[in-house]
Amino acid sequence: MHFGARNHYCWFYDDEKQHQKVVTEFINEGLQQNEKIIYVTDSHSPEIIKNYLKSSSFSITSCIKSGQLNIFKLSEIFLNKSENLFSKLIPSIKFMIKNAVDEGYSGLRATGEMSSIFHEIICQINLYNRLLEYESNLNTIISESNLSMLCQYDVRTQNALLLTPLLSIHPKIILRTEIFANEKYIPPSEFKSNLTIPIFQKWFKSESYNKLKEEVEALKELDREKNQLLDELAHEIRNPLSSILGFTELLMQDDANLSPFQKEAIEIISRNVNRIIRLISLLLNKSRLERNQFVLKKEPFRIDLLINSVVDELSFNLKQKAHKLHLNVPENLIVVADKDQLYLVILNLLSNAIKYTPPKGDITIHVRKQKSKLHFSITDTGIGFTPEEKSHLFKKFSKIKRALKEERGYSKGVGLGLYISKSIIEQHGGRIDAFSKGLNQGATFFFEIPCE
């Protein structure tokens, strides 16, 4: 494939092999021509794109470090979807072109995964028109500067009828992996934003749209009922569980009169009750997050004492698998955060490290304060993960399919832990992420939050 400079492509693909081929060749050509590259990811993680480029003749790590190759997430670019969003992007692109030339590059080459944002705006005709105007204005910029753009659309997730207007404002089309000149192209001088109106009118009157609308409303009502039922059940279940937990603690105070079997039985009851309570907390947090009712209750506390409490709760699991736990945690470090929610995050991260590390492994927790931020990391010698697996780690109900077989004392989980943890950390104004060198090479999960 040959793309060349000063071109604007609308690309429709329908499988991952096509995606890898076109993305790899588009980026490699830009690197060969000494262009600055910008890639905006959405359904594919940055790690997947980097993995595509492993066979490149260029050192991708060096290109990223030098600033020639830049990979961003869609959420970092499209923070909101207001009507003036696209008009704000035009001056930003002009600035990036000038900046690339000033840095010594021959031009700018950019590509973005547009399916997600397109899916969100297709029922908003004004916003869709702003998108089309933006794409048309890009053609003017491209004709005046060294800019190449590749707009990506995964047709597996879109309505074909609503993709039609996009074709008219791209001079070049890529269907799967073949490049074509667009005979229906409308140049900027002839573009009119109302060209979408007949298509939208046809779509809104269609049986498919009305059926979809009814299904969406029905699903919303079911979701409301589900959340209400979940809240009521959680409180009904939590009360007797708290009583059971209280009585087990009372029994353990008289452990001198208990036999080893009785002690073990009480400890098993206590562990399993705590596990059910944690699961209820996860489900409640998920429900509150989705309804925008998640409220943090910040207070000052010592992070070392919190971590020690987590370790105590999971001490049986650590002993059961004969893991060595190394703590590098400063004493008396005060953090201002939601203590209970941060406890759940650290509990989930340590629980995962224990679960996904084969027996006699090493787990290290490291905490430090840098400026006004708390940095927490947990590293294990476990099964690790691939770039593809990482792209799903923090999504709802996501689990590593090739995970270790279920062992005594562990549940398979529901796949909410990392999703909820990510939400809690982001509610604190922080970020959470993970990295691994590959299969069976361990993993590190880390987060940072403001601590003052």
The pLDDT tens digits for 357-369 are 999 999 999 999 9
Q: According to the model, what pLDDT value does residue 202 have? A: 57
Stretch 99-120: mean pLDDT, rounded? 85
User: How much is the pTM?
Assistant: 0.53
Stretch 164-169: mean pLDDT, rounded? 76
Q: Which of 62-71, 133-142, 180-189, 284-293 has the lowest mean pLDDT?
A: 284-293
Stretch 308-315: mean pLDDT, rounded? 91
Measure CA 382 to chain center: 22
Is residue 415 over pLDDT 70?
A: yes
Domains of the chain: 8-196 (3.40.50.300), 206-294 (1.10.287), 295-452 (3.30.565.10)
Q: According to the model, what pLDDT value does residue 32 have? A: 94
Q: Which of 188-202, 268-282, 326-340, 434-448 has the lowest mean pLDDT?
A: 188-202
Q: According to the model, what pLDDT value does residue 394 have? A: 86
CB environment 89-124: b (16+ within 10 A), e (fewer): eeeebeebbeebeeeebebbbbbbbbbebbeebbbe
Q: According to the model, what pLDDT value does residue 1 have? A: 82
Q: What CA–CA distance (Å, rounded) separates 187 from 143?
A: 11
Stretch 71-93: mean pLDDT, rounded? 69
Q: According to the model, what pLDDT value does residue 35 have? A: 95
Q: Which residue has the higher pLDDT, 288 or 203?
A: 288
* pLDDT more than 70, % of the chain: 84
Model pLDDT for residues 247-306, shown as the tens digit of each residue: 888 887 877 788 888 888 888 888 788 778 777 777 777 777 666 667 788 999 999 999
Q: What CA–CA distance (Å, rounded) separates 359 from 382?
A: 9
Q: Is residue 58 within 8 Å of 30, Cβ to Cβ? A: no
Is residue 408 over pLDDT 60?
A: no
Q: In what order do the strands lie in the sheet with 324-328?
A: 324-328, 362-370, 373-380, 443-450, 431-435
440 is written with which tokens?
């069976």
Question: What are the distances in angstroms from CA 113 to CA 5, 15, 38, 416?
Answer: 20, 14, 12, 26
Q: Select, from the ranges 134-138, 225-229, 232-236, the one with the highest average predicted confidence (pLDDT).
A: 134-138
Measure CA 195 to chain center: 35
**Dihedral angle sign, alpha carbons of residues 35, 41, 43, 47:** positive
Q: What CA–CA distance (Å, rounded) separates 116 from 326?
A: 42
Q: According to the model, what pLDDT value does residue 248 have? A: 84
Of 5, 2, 4, which Cα lies nearest the Cα of 142? Answer: 5
Q: What is the mean pLDDT of the chain?
A: 82
Binning pLDDT at 50, 70 and 90, where does residue 174 land? very high
Q: According to the model, what pLDDT value does residue 25 have? A: 95
Q: Is residue 338 within 8 Å of 428, Cβ to Cβ? A: yes
Q: According to the model, what pLDDT value does residue 305 have? A: 95
Is residue 392 over pLDDT 70?
A: yes
Is residue 100 over pLDDT 80?
A: yes
Is residue 380 over pLDDT 90?
A: yes
Q: What CA–CA distance (Å, rounded) separates 260 from 252?
A: 12
Is residue 406 over pLDDT 50?
A: no
